[in-house]
């Protein structure tokens, strides 16, 4: 893993978190316990802070950054799929972000919402709790059904199990 101090701030990694050797952490980045940070992920806490909660997964080639003096917050148990860009939003707990999404500054993703693959959430936009949003720009299209919630939870649990499996292989 590429690890870089910036302006005297060093990344902090929680217990039981796995960071792939091809991931990059720069500056004011704090990652919670039991997280998975995939290959090619770039977390740049050079301008603003980055806070990742417990049991999150930040998959391959994701980019997380923020405006100067602001931050990006990812709540506990969030699932951030491949090649997503988070630039200064707040994600509450158990948010599911599909592959290739872009979530801009000051956007708020409420608890247990889901973004379909390729969704663009504009700066300052809020996505409601327990809703599915999609499109460019994103629009809320429906409430998340029990069946969909179960599927999302299954996917989340698969990724929550990954850090321990990777760390076991490193020993």
Domain 2-170: which topology?
UDP N-Acetylglucosamine Acyltransferase; domain 1 (2.160.10)
pTM, whole model, 2 decimals?
0.96
C-alpha–C-alpha distance, residues 136 and 103, integer Å: 11
Per-residue pLDDT of the chain (171 residues), as tens digits, is 688 999 999 999 999 999 999 999 999 999 999 999 999 999 999 999 999 999 999 999 999 999 999 999 999 999 999 999 999 999 999 999 999 999 999 999 999 999 999 999 999 999 999 999 999 999 999 999 999 999 999 999 999 999 999 998 876
Distance of CA 142 to the CA centre of its chain: 22
Adjacent-strand bridge partners of 73: 51, 90
Phi and psi of 154, rounded to 5°? Answer: -60, -50
Instruction: Give first-to-last CA distance, the chain, whole Å.
Output: 17
């Amino acid at each position: 893993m590429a690890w870089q101090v910036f302006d005297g701030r060093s990344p902090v990694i929680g217990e039981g978190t796995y960071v792939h050797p091809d991931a990059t952490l720069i500056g004011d980045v704090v990652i919670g316990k039991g997280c998975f940070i995939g290959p090619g992920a770039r977390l740049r806490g050079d301008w603003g802070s980055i806070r990742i909660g417990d049991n999150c997964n930040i998959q391959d080639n994701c980019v997380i950054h923020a405006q100067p003096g602001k931050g990006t917050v990812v709540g506990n148990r969030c699932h951030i799929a491949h090649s997503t860009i988070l630039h200064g939003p707040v994600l509450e707990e158990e948010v599911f972000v599909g592959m290739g999404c872009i979530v801009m500054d000051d956007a708020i993703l409420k608890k247990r919402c889901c973004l379909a693959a390729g969704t663009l959430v504009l700066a300052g936009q809020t996505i409601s709790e327990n809703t599915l949003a999609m499109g460019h720009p994103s629009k809320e299209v429906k409430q998340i059904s029990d069946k969909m919630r179960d599927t999302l939870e299954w996917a989340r649990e698969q990724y929550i199990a990954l850090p321990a499996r990777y760390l076991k292989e490193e020993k």
